[in-house]
A and B are shown apart, each in its own frame.
Chain A
């Protein structure tokens, strides 16, 4: 029954977060990330609270719903197929790509690069003005166009040589600003924690959708922060297009299949958001805590 309660919590939290996105302001990626985080984090937290202290009110009785669904033949194979499919998607979509990326980054030799150091020095004042610091940057000797924040204990930004060669100085600064924004927003430690929450709810379809949303909106949130730090959003937009062009050329050379339509649609949204100048400051104050308290109170009565 714990799994069914978690699925009920997840679906309800997801529905609530979608409504909250339309009600709260500013409508910015940071708020969307906060709400997706709540969809992942609040259901397990509420399960712990319910185990210690059941809610004094009841909004939805999960065992009763399970029995009611059983009477119409919907509590057997259908939810099991849904949960099993969600679990398989977790392995295919989250677990295998993570292991593949980790292996690729670990194998590649890294070193300093004068253009990267210069670009870091150029964007650092913008981050320090926002009260943020930045990890070191390193060049990876690779022909695959990629840039990422790697590492948990001693994070660093790594950029592949082909990308450094393809971008001009302004574009390189914009690219670094985006990766440094990942570090400033909690970096891989925060994402790993969220990934573990997602893994703990591998059978929950709401967690699946929320984590995908979170990963996508996190990129947009880092775009927004980078644009605020550099005050040159158009440069970052041109980087996104250039990286995609390079990846397309690499795939064509390797005769690999193209990116799915959803990936290109996401890229289009990110570029449009940057060019439209929508780089609003994220929500101020303890918005996450207040929203978590509201959602937690709602889910506490569901069990």
Chain B
């Protein structure tokens, strides 16, 4: 019998339990989405080359750059949240929007549930993609932001 064997067994059991707990929590926090789903990215550099990201020089500096949230779906577009909590959302996309947009998605359809004080400007572009700017502010600021977004050639 190894001296102190029960205590070593207890430590091994504790280590295995800790590993199991880590794995369990990780599976819930980092739920790996399917390959064609919207995914969060930590930095713009991590985005694939075909992601459409607007030129930040055409945006108001008060909105904040780099984005606090970056959502991308291969072949289906990119959504960026500026500020935390978001003060603006910028999207270039086709198809459906990411679930992370939450109540702001209602602003795109003038549907009930759009947060108070938010303005949405969206348009379908000739290339088949849609562009949208959601902003917490007045209508004139939303117009300016959307014009800037449409004028901006994607940097990526």
Q: Which residues of A contact B (CB under 8 A)?
A: 12, 15-16, 19-20, 23-25, 58-61, 63-68, 70-71, 73, 75-76, 284-285, 290-291, 294-295, 297-298, 301-302
Contact = CB atoms under 8 A, between A and B. Distances in A.
Interface in B64-113: 68-70, 84-85, 100
A298 B19 contact: yes
Given A64-B32, A68-B40, A73-B84, A19 B23 contact: no
B14 A64 contact: no
A64 B11 contact: no
Interface in B8-25: 8, 10-12, 14-15, 18-19, 22-23, 25
Given A66-B42, A70-B42, A76-B84, A59 B69 contact: no
Given A19-B14, A294-B11, A301-B19, A67 B85 contact: no
Interface residues of B, number: 28
A19 B69 CA distance: 37
B26 A23 contact: no
15 contacts: A16-B18, A19-B11, A23-B11, A23-B14, A24-B8, A25-B7, A59-B23, A61-B26, A67-B41, A68-B29, A71-B100, A285-B3, A298-B18, A301-B22, A302-B22
A75 B84 CA distance: 11
Given A73-B85, A295-B15, 18 more contacts: A16-B15, A20-B11, A20-B14, A23-B10, A24-B4, A25-B7, A60-B23, A61-B30, A66-B42, A68-B30, A68-B40, A70-B40, A70-B68, A284-B3, A290-B8, A291-B11, A294-B11, A302-B22
A64 B30 contact: yes
Most chain B CB inside 10 Å of its own CB: which residue of A12, A73, A285: A73
Most B-side CB within 10 Å, residue of A20, A61, A71: A71
A123 B8 CA distance: 36
A20 B25 CA distance: 22
Nearest to A1: B42
Interface of B: 3-4, 7-8, 10-12, 14-15, 18-19, 22-23, 25-26, 29-30, 32, 39-42, 68-70, 84-85, 100
A71 B32 CA distance: 15
Contacts of B68: 70, 73, 76
Given A61-B26, A61-B30, A298-B19, A25 B42 contact: no
B29 A25 contact: no
A70 B84 CA distance: 10
**Residue of B12, B19, B70 with most partner-chain A CB within 10 A:** B19
A247 B53 CA distance: 64
Contacts of A71: 40, 69, 100
A58 B29 CA distance: 14
A65 B30 contact: yes
A67 B42 contact: yes
Nearest to B13: A23
A101 to B, nearest CB: 37
A14 to B, nearest CB: 12
A291 B11 CA distance: 9
Nearest to B17: A19
A59 B22 contact: yes
A3 to B, nearest CB: 13
Interchain residue pairs A-B with the least CB separation, the first 6: A64-B30, A73-B84, A59-B22, A67-B40, A60-B26, A67-B42
A219 B63 CA distance: 54
B15 to A, nearest CB: 5
Contacts of A65: 26, 29-30
A253 B17 CA distance: 56
